[in-house]
Structure 1
Amino acid sequence: MTATMLIQLGLTGLVVALIPLAVVWRAQGAANKYRKLVWVTLFFTFDLIMFGAFTRLTDSGLGCPDWPGCYSHANPLLAHEHINAAQEAMPTGPVTWAKAWIEMTHRYFAMAVGFLIIVLMVAAWWRWIRSGKTELQFRPWFPTALLGFVCLQGAFGAWTVTMKLQPIIVTLHLLLGLNLLAMLTWLAARQEPHLPVSPAGRALIVPATLGAALLGLQIALGGWVSTNYAALACTDFPLCDGKLVPDMDFAHGFTLWRHLGMTSGGDYLPFQALTAIHWVHRSFAFVVILYVVWLAHRALREEGLRKTGRWLLTVLGLQLCTGLATIYLNWPLAIAVVHNGGAALLVILMVMLNYKVRYAPSGQAIAAPPATARPVTP
């Protein structure tokens, strides 16, 4: 790792970040620029999660087997000798030209998101101080926490590579990315006006919290399936290997600290362990689906929550279809990536629902306030 490489990497990430920053700059008014910056950062983080799924599903996580560069270079072109040698030795191995570019593109996007969050934090502090600490939508504590969180996410990105795709590290990297998305969604919700929520809607605080917890657990199980490459452990549905309860090895399947494809003792992971990982994710999905459908129907009764409830039902249906399609169509890459994106959308919607039931104005449903108005919420 050299200073020159780090500077080149930083400049590449900055160039990528300048594209959304240019969009934000065109907005009129300081408050509107900040609001747009939050939403653009949220959008880019969603895109980063989608591309991270593509990186993982194309087995490109070790396309550049060091970090943060590629064979100590800022891009694959400069590392052509090393990549050519690795590709000639193993044409279908973890290091090829395509996989190197996929991995480095993922890193460039991650650096761009980091730059956007830095700008977001600086903008929040600047506006907060200039307003005499009176404009609540610019409170800087949350954006500052976001910067610390994205640094932690970057550390797990490095460990993903240096620890050779160890499943627990890759899964935590995914979950931290989705937590970052959730935090940005919460911040975005604070910038928007919301329809009033009645006491009946406010009563959904606990059910919405439980829904978020169940969704988080299901996503963690899905991440464990993906990082252990267990998506095709069951190729039929609703049965698995022709059985309602197939032969499974839970002990090895859910041992968290072990190398990819290996048991904690260093032996090859038995197929029954992959079956257990897949079956638990599939079975728990029915619990989550039933609960979120019930929660969404409760939200549909409330004018201020109706739009979020409809989107929850829509995306949940998409998740069910793409999940089944990965089984029946033998795990096509595009559908697998969309399935990961659906999980990210559910996170956004669940966070929005939780924000609204807590901090939307109280009262009966009335017309939304003008777009220039900003809610004063914690």
Structure 2
Amino acid sequence: MTTHGKVFRKLGFWTIGAIYFLILVGGIVRATGSGMGCPDWPRCFGSWVPPTDISQLPSNYKEIYGEKLKGEIEFNAVKTWIEYVNRLIGVLIGILVFGTFVSSFVSFRKKDKTIVLLSLLATILVAFEGWLGSKVVSSELHPVMITLHMILSVIIVMILLYAVARSYNYVVKIEDIADKSSLSFLVSAAIFLTTGQVLLGTQVREVVDKVAASMGEAMRTEWVANLGGKFQMHALFSMVIVLINLVIYYKIKKSISEKGILTRFTNWLVIVVGIELVSGLTLAYLGFPNFMQPVHLTLGVLAIGIQFVIFLFLNKERVFRSIAS
């Protein structure tokens, strides 16, 4: 394992972890209603460092920044800084992704150009993600723009996961499994279903926002009874997803005698899916506590990432075939 290869893998892990953290922070922004805490972009209330008190704003700040919000803007320092921290983390991730690309170029430009190209693609997409973030603000948090913003984050994670997993193929022995075809099909189905579940969850979140606005905080425990078919479908699919991941866990455990990296990821998958189920039950039966909503979303996206890595390792001969020239 080369020194630079180690640097790439470590930096790749930190970058992927940072993106997951950004997804969590993005969920916090949504759950706390802080999306328009900074009504302009890239600055916040016209400054690179946002105000901490209303006295730091001009007296007519509502006229200046409230036009596109139809005048409905009230300065809230907590919401402003939640959104601003979200943006700062986005900038940090941009730096990390670029650093990952540089490291990939140093380590793999001769050995595996695919890793370099994937890292470059991730860098380009992160820049596009920053631009898309500005459109989320200018669209006044349109639900479609928010969903696209999140989907692009997941795509960037998948690209980096592939690049880092591919680099491990050179230095770590991945367990062999006899019945790869059926397992690959199951894992592919799990990825498809979990992705659909996350997207459906974003729609349920929109329904929750509408129900919350109409019923108010005083009736929070009654919200779930008024969420309708999308919520019921989301709940039903959660049982299907738990079941298919348990089958994957059982079949991999049964097929492998010697524990290795694939076994570890399978263990983590069951743990994450289990915690995800608990967080969903907490939301449904405890009145949708704000702190649990971003956790629930992040765990769902994390499960997709782990499933994707398991799929890559199951098909290592095909997906990790080097095309370096």
Q: TM-score, normalised by structure 2?
A: 0.81
Is 1:156 matched up with 2:132? yes
Structure 2 residues not aligned, in runs of 5+: 67-71, 213-219
For 1:190 and 1:353, how far apart are their aligned partners in 2?
12
| Contact kept in structure 2, 1:52 and 1:106, CA below 8 Å | yes
| 2:36 aligned partner | 62
Residue correspondence of structure 1 range 45-60 to structure 2 within 5 A: 45-60=19-34
Instruction: Note if contact 2:177-2:314 (Cα within 8 Å) is conserved in structure 1.
Output: no
- Cα offsets for 1:6-58 (capped at 9, x unmatched): xxxxxxxxxxxxxxxxxxxxxx9222112211111111111111111111111
Residues 1:175 and 2:175 aligned together: no
Whether the 8 Å CA contact 1:127–1:138 is kept in 2: the answer is no
Question: Where do 1:1-378 residues align within 5 Å?
Answer: 29-77=3-51, 80-81=56-57, 85=61, 95-129=75-109, 133=110, 135-136=111-112, 139-192=115-168, 193-230=172-209, 241=225, 275-303=228-256, 305-359=262-316
Amino acid at match of 2:82: I
Deviation at 1:302, TM superposition (A): 3.0
Q: Secondary structure of the equivalent of 1:283?
A: helix
Cα drift, residue 281 of structure 1: 2.1
Distance 1:94 1:288 in 2: 42
Figure out how many residues of one structure are paired with residues of the other and give that number. Answer: 298
Cα distance in 2 between the residues matched to 1:180 and 1:84: 40
Give, in whole Å, the separation in 2 of the partners of 1:342 and 1:164: 27
Classify the secondary structure of the residue corresponding to 2:39: coil
Do the aligned partners of 1:208 and 1:354 also contact (CA within 8 Å) in 2?
Answer: yes
Tell which deviates more after alignment, 344-353 or 189-198. 189-198
Structure 1 counterpart of 2:118, one-letter code: F
CA distance in 2, matches of 1:139, 1:352: 15
1:44 aligned partner, one-letter code: A
Provide the C-alpha distance between the structure 1 equivalents of 2:59 and 2:296, rounded to a whole number of angstroms: 31
SS in 1 for 2:228: helix
Structure-1 separation of matches of 2:107 and 2:273: 39
Q: Alpha carbon RMSD of aligned pairs, Å?
A: 3.1
- Pair 29,310 (structure 1): closer, same or farther in 2 beyond 3 Å: closer
Q: Which moved more, 1:276-285 or 1:213-222?
A: 276-285
Whole-Å Cα distance in 2 between the matches of residues 318 and 327 of structure 1?
14
List structure 1 segments (4+ residues) > 3 angstroms apart after TM superposition.
82-86, 92-95, 126-129, 227-237, 375-378
In structure 1, distance between residues paired with 2:58 and 2:136:
21
**Larger RCO (CA within 8 A; separation ≥ 6):** 2
